[in-house]
Amino acid sequence: MSRIAVKMLRSLGYVVSDSKNVHDALSVSEGPQEVDLFLVDVMLPGGKSGVDFANDLFVQDPDAKILLMSGYPNSHLTEQKLRDKPLELIAKPFDLWSISHAIQNTLNTSGGEIATFQEVEE
């Protein structure tokens, strides 16, 4: 996740935890602090996609809130793999209004913590 995106989220009043890989992000979900939303890129290096992460997270927490982001228009990956779980998808690059709107649509509340992650290339 870019530093600009993290700054945008913090400027909206969110507490942001930026995990560096899928394992760390899943560990955050098991931690003591409640996470209101995960912002996840659809395309990740290292063989796992954001949809794969979402599926793993839903095993741990079926009520998890996930907002996917993608630089590819009309990503069909979410429709193909998560037909029973509707997810918001925001196109990159996004502006402050777009990310705020997408977060509110996903959370249906204000405030909270956002755990974000990107996988580190090896």
Q: pLDDT by residue (tens digit) across 63-102?
A: 889 998 888 765 555 555 555 666 788 888 899 999 999 9
Q: pLDDT by residue (tens digit) across 24-70?
A: 888 888 878 788 899 988 877 667 788 888 888 888 888 889 998 88
Indicate if the pLDDT at residue 118 is higher than 60.
no
Taking Cα atoms as reference points, which of 118, 106, 120 lies closest to residue 35? Answer: 106
Indicate the pTM of the whole model.
0.81
- Please give the domain boundaries of the chain with CATH numbers for all domains: 3-117 (3.40.50.2300)
